[in-house]
Structures are given as structure tokens and as C-alpha cells.
Homo-oligomer: A and B are copies of this chain.
Amino acid sequence: MAGFRERLLAATQNSGVCVGLDPVPEKLPEALRDKEEGIALFCEEIVRATAPFVAAYKPNLAFFEALGLEGFHALRRAIDAVRQHAPNALIIGDGKRNDIGSTAARYATAMFDHWGFDAVTVNPYLGWDGIKPFAEYTDRGVYLLAMTSNPSAVEVQDFKNHRDHVFQHVTKLAARTWNKFDNIGLVVGATRPERIAQVRAPAPLLPFLIPGVGAQGGDLAAAVKLGFVEGKAPALINASRSIIYASSGADFTEKAAEEAKRMQEAIQQLRKK
């Protein structure tokens, strides 16, 4: 199988859109809300409708875990739906897992062998021996949290010394020390566009996964400009709620498709600039 970078380049040729799958029972369209397997059906429908416009899907494990066993069945069906309807799209298991080496190896088994994700998100707080078991799957991608999109991100990530903030320190480690298998990427929130350049500068060739442009109100133009290194390190720009909950009516698939298409076109326009 091709290395992760080649797979990412192929998946992002015509789109930079990553659709976050964050299903919440109370937010389901009415037609599915009380249906048995409503969550699984919802994920399948969203995938089928948005597939033509999308480079990647990002199921966030929290939303499936909160539902217990029903959630795990829904996650399996969501994954199967992507493989069927969007065979070139990547699936990013967004679990932000992290632990000591021997335990991280079990998470890697869960994420890559059991679920079959093409990439994962990993929290870098434990350093390389907690990242290595994921990175050793050299055909998969490992997006490390550098600068997250939430308001409190600054509390730890902006701790700084005379030279760097923590998020820059993590970025430098990622680009210069940890990227041994050419499959490390970075999670970089779009909610602080003025900071994205501080992540890009020390990591000129790492792929970015960029959350925060949808419901969180981040800056799409800045995300595309600094996120995409064309032909080398394409970005995935994630939107979850703004796409999957574009409508709660009977037209939820159409509205989700419209929103995914609108975002795909906007990103492609900006990429050409």
C-alpha cells in the first residue's frame, strides 16, 4: 500500500473537505430521531449524500462511545458506508488517544487493525514513545494536536519560554524529530488564524488537519492559504455541525450535500489563488 502522503495527495486532488461525523441523538433529523438504529442510518445517509464533495471523513469517537454498544455498531456502519460510497476518501479516527508506549500500542491496534482507520488524531503530551506505536503503521497518518480550536487552548498550549510557545515546541518536535516515517501531521485550529503561520513556519511540509471553520467560526481563507502546500502537504479542512446538521428536516441529506459542495468549491477557489 502507498505511503500516507501519497494517499492523502490522491484523496485531496479535488477537495479539501473533511466531514466530521459527530452524531448526537437529540440533533438527528426528526424522521430518524426515534428510529431503531437511527444513528447508524444518519451516518450512512450523510456519507452517501456528501461523498462526491469530500476528501475525508472524521468520526469523532466520543460521539459513538457515548451511545454504548449501539454507538460502536453505528461507527462500523459509518466506516463501511465511506468505503462503499467514497472509496478514495480517507477515514480519520478522531480519538486524540495518548498513553505510555505499551498502552499506545494497544490503542494503535484498536484504531488501525480493529476499526481500520486511515489516520488518527493523537495528543502529544506524552512525547515520542506514546506516538511511535501509531507512526509505525507507515501507510497510515498520525495527526498530532498542536494548536487546538477551543477557547481554553491557550492555557497550556500558549505557555511560553523566551523562544517558543508549547504549540510551537510540539510543532518543531513533530517536524524535526518525530516525523521518522513521513506520516506525521498536525491538528491546527482555524479559530486563531494569526497563529497558523507560527505552526506552518517550523513545519513547512507537514499535512494539517484544520478544525474550527464551521460552527466554531474560524477563518477559511487563512486555513487554506497556510494549510495547503500544493503537491506536497495538502490540508484537510474539517466541518462537522455546519454540514451534518445543515437541516433537521426531511431535506437533511440535500442540505448536507449543498453545504459540503459549497465548502468544497470555496476551498478549491482559494487553493487556486
Contacts and interface: CB of A to CB of B under 8 A. Distances in A.
Interface size class of A (residues with CB under 8 A): 35 or more
A80 to B, nearest CB: 15
A153 B98 CA distance: 12
A129 interface: yes
A-side binding surface: helix, strand, loop or mixed? Answer: helix
Interface string A68-110: 1100100000000000000000000000111111011011011
A130 interface: yes
Work out how many copies of this chain go into the complex: 2
B125 A154 contact: no
B106 A127 contact: no
28 contacts: A22-B106, A60-B99, A62-B97, A63-B103, A63-B106, A65-B106, A66-B107, A66-B114, A68-B114, A96-B98, A100-B148, A100-B216, A123-B125, A124-B125, A125-B125, A125-B156, A126-B152, A127-B150, A127-B152, A127-B156, A127-B157, A128-B152, A130-B150, A130-B152, A159-B159, A161-B162, A162-B162, A166-B166
A-B pairs, top 5 by smallest CB distance, nearest first, are: A127-B152, A127-B155, A65-B110, A161-B161, A62-B106
